[in-house]
Structure 1
Amino acid sequence: MSDDPTRVQEFFTARAADWDARFPDDGPAYAAAVAALDLRPGGRVLDAGCGTGRALPALREAVGPSGVVLGADLTPAMLAAAAQAGRDKEGQLLRANVTRLPLGSGTLDAVFGAGLISHLPQPSENLGELARVVRPGGLLALFHPIGRRALAARHGRQLTPEDLRAEPNLRPLLAGSGWRLTSYVDEDARFLALAVRAG
């Protein structure tokens, strides 16, 4: 998958209308990944690259009515699908590129990113931008509802040593961009890497 923002947008625009229908059983995996963030009522959280907003209901439940839930995505069609599904009631939808977020530094408690890392044009800088908007001690969850091997098989590809999500690659990538990897799970049923904001 290309990391060119225009191609990423074209890819997701073409798939936005039936995205949720293609993956109807992912809800529990999203909820479990959000639970791993251990968010508190009143917390402030961003779903970076939120797509159709499938994580937003679980994020809203975690932070409660007094919390702030933001969903940012580059693709208008995905945000429109999120709104059509009623997920704009769970959080504020923003058309924004995660490479340059319209948020103040240190204003969030956590960032959730589902399927995000393979679409980042400059992963180190972009993860650094996510770190910028999170307070020290805040959390990052990089999630996918299936693991790397299962995802590669779905797309008819082999895993390669260069895969950014492989732990030997991800750990130093996060460390160089303001995060410390604290938990790493890569199994067929899910991929979930948790990191804490350093400093």
Structure 2
Amino acid sequence: MTRHDPADVRAFFTERAADWDSRFPDDGPAYAAAVTGLGLRAGDRVLDAGCGTGRALPALRAAVGPDGVVLGADLTPAMLEEAVRAGRHRGAALARTDVTRLPVAEGALDAVFAAGLVSHLADVREGLAELARATRPGGLLALFHPIGRAALAARQGRQITADDVRAEPRLRAVLAASGWRMTSYVDEDARYLVRAERVRGG
């Protein structure tokens, strides 16, 4: 399983932050649809883990309403600056932090939304376990990407490899080892969306 050094991840996204949204201008509806599929309720407390430029934040805020809490966490200051510049921080709290060390109490969250996060974690199991720690039993997790694994690999000029942690069998096992139970898995050209539930007593 590939490990990603946080400093390298930060450098990668720092270089790309300024034009990130202009490179992927049509992803908005896919983010909104994924948030809808998470099944959030008014008043929920939700984290956008690896929020980047904040493309999911407005939809998350709309889903939880004025009594809910939306937190966006990202490792890269330049990405958070772009979220603010785009006005997506309104109604959300932004934190510059590694999602493997969240400034959130145990069981404080009702749900976690994570777009593209798994591919950039230094240790996938550790990262998913930290998200589980911060989420109440029965809470929800959505791992999302606006295109599927094959389409993303084609865009990047590479092949899907056998050790891809986002493949269903591997991801199901890692989630289970991290305090989650996978409830659905979709990997198609137009969407990658995995949903999981925080295991009770796990």
TM-score computed with the length of structure 2 as normaliser: 0.97
Any conservation in 2 of the 1:2–1:8 contact (CA below 8 Å)? no
Any conservation in 2 of the 1:148–1:187 contact (CA below 8 Å)? yes
- Counterpart of 1:174 in structure 2 is 175
- Counterpart of 1:53 in structure 2 is 54
Any conservation in 2 of the 1:50–1:73 contact (CA below 8 Å)? yes
Deviation at 1:42, TM superposition (A): 0.5
**Structure 2: which amino acid aligns with 1:6?**
A
Provide, for residues 152-197 of structure 1, a one-character-per-residue CA deviation record: whole Å limited to 9, x for no partner: 0000000111100000100000000000000000000000000000
Partners in 1 of 2:180 and 2:121 — Cα distance? 16
Equivalent residues in 2 for 1:33-182, closer than 5 Å: 33-182=34-183
Partners in 1 of 2:115 and 2:174 — Cα distance? 17
Tell me the matched-pair count. 199
Partners in 2 of 1:122 and 1:151 — Cα distance? 21
Unaligned runs of 5+ residues in structure 2 are none
TM-score computed with the length of structure 1 as normaliser: 0.98
Distance 1:174 1:2, change over 3 A: closer
Deviation at 1:2, TM superposition (A): 6.2
Deviation at 1:125, TM superposition (A): 1.1
Any conservation in 2 of the 1:167–1:184 contact (CA below 8 Å)? yes
Identity %: 70
Superposed CA RMSD in Å reads 0.9
Partners in 1 of 2:172 and 2:3 — Cα distance? 22
Distance 1:160 1:23, change over 3 A: same
Unaligned runs of 5+ residues in structure 1 are none
Deviation at 1:66, TM superposition (A): 0.9
- Counterpart of 2:25 in structure 1 is 24
Partners in 2 of 1:126 and 1:30 — Cα distance? 22
